[in-house]
Amino acid sequence: MIKTTSASTTMRIPSLVIADDHPVARAGLAAIIQASGAGKIIAQASNAREVLELLDRLQPDVTILDLSLGDRPGLEVIKDIKARKNPTAILVLSMHDEHIYAERCIRAGARGYVMKTQAADEIVHAVAEVFMGRVYVSQAMSARLLSHLAGSPKWGAKLSFDRLTDRELEVFDLLGQGRTTKQIARLLHLSSKTIEAHREHIKDKLDVKSSTELLRLAVLAGQSQG
């Protein structure tokens, strides 16, 4: 089906909120967006609480969201925004590997996913695409998603990380950041026993034999993303 858009939508400059816990990253991104003329930055947030408050109050056209805001996992923030039926289009801009996170973010409600290692013009293009109501991922990720849909043998067998639930992936990511079981439990508003259960499930799914090996793998995964 051909998607049409009104002239007013195509000509209007979108309003944007940037959510990233690093001030320098926010400033650099804002400078890129403003210099390109791709959007008007109306607010910035450093954590999940701030961005949710800003979205409720300002209702921007596009929200550029980092997955690592510190106070809450990014996937939870995406789901929370969509649960509030906020009209903003979410573009995730993250250091996390797109092959692990992009599809999950799109399923959670994001309209696009771009890694921070991409060129500035790709970020600008992604903003325009999600504002126009389209889904944006890299060419490599787009091919992967299409292969999934087509049942390609190349992607028929799930990768190890694909076997993890969203919650298990959040726990794995936080372990890689050096968080303790108690810290993860407090951050995710769960009991320590629940986190321990998630750790065991993760070990089984990743075929990891010990907690030490799991921690090493989580740290290495985190280093490869940042």
pLDDT of 144 reads: 63
**DSSP secondary structure, 156-206, as one string:** TSPPTGGGS-HHHHHHHHHHHTT--HHHHHHHHT--HHHHHHHHHHHHHHH
Strand 15-19, strand 62-65: pairing = parallel
Strand 15-19, strand 40-45: pairing = parallel
CATH architecture assigned to 161-225: Orthogonal Bundle (1.10)
- Spans in the chain with pLDDT lower than 50: 1-9, 152-158, 226
pLDDT of 226 reads: 46
d(CA 107, CA 114): 15
pLDDT of 85 reads: 83
Query: In whole angstroms, how large is the CA radius of gyration of the chain?
Result: 18
d(CA 57, CA 34): 22
Length of the chain: 226
pLDDT of 73 reads: 87
- The 10s digit of each residue's pLDDT in 189-205 is 899 999 999 999 999 98
Give the residue ranges of DSSP H helices in the chain: 7-11, 23-36, 48-58, 74-83, 98-108, 120-131, 139-150, 166-176, 181-188, 192-206, 211-225
d(CA 155, CA 178): 31
Q: What is the CATH number of domain 7-148?
A: 3.40.50.2300
pLDDT of 140 reads: 72
How many other C-beta atoms lie within 10 A of the C-beta of residue 84?
12
CB of 173 closer than 8 Å to CB of 203: no
C-alpha of 223 from chain center: 17
pLDDT of 198 reads: 92
Say if 7-148 and 161-225 have the same CATH topology.
no
pLDDT of 211 reads: 84
pLDDT of 61 reads: 97
d(CA 26, CA 175): 25
Per-position b or e across 60-75, b if 16+ CB within 10 A of its CB: bbbbbbbbbbeebbbb
Domain positions in the chain are 7-148, 161-225
Closest-CA residue to 176 (of 225, 210, 209): 225
d(CA 35, CA 53): 27
